[in-house]
Amino acid sequence: MAAPPGDAGGAPVRDPGLQPERTRLAWRRTTLSCTVVAVLAARQAVHGGATAAGVAGAALSALVWLAFLGVAHRRMLALDAAAPGPLPARAAIATAGCTILLALFTVAVLA
């Protein structure tokens, strides 16, 4: 039985397969979904009659979208590493917080 190919130090070379690519695509789909929600919130705020709550909700939705975009971009860059680590807890909390806030601000625009 032959040993797996390794680098000069004898450590096996990582074969990432398609898993990092699938994860990167999932982050892109999620970013696209957040973009659509933010754009629809802004559209609703403008077309529904510009109320203070609607404009504030749309502006906050845009800020949360930018924050999510930053977290997603950093994660996609981290997936380019030879051995990407797990998503840090801070980034996971930021992602969940952005998702919840985006939903809340969109509801504020609709109200």
Provide the 3-class DSSP secondary structure of residue 78: helix
Task: Tell me, yes or no, if the pTM score tops 0.85.
Answer: no
23's tokens: 């994860």
Nearest-angstrom CA–CA distance, 96 and 91: 9
Is residue 34 within 8 A of residue 40, CB to CB? The reply is: no
Which residues face 6 on adjacent strands?
12
Give burial (CB, 10 Å; 0-12/13-18/19+) of 41. buried
Determine the pLDDT at residue 13: 62
pLDDT score of 63? 93
| Ramachandran sector of residue 49 (left: φ over 0; alpha: ψ -120 to 50; beta: rest) | left
Give me the pLDDT at residue 19, please: 81
| pLDDT computed for residue 2 by the predictor | 52
Per-10-residue mean pLDDT, the chain, length 111: 56 68 90 90 80 84 93 90 85 93 84 73
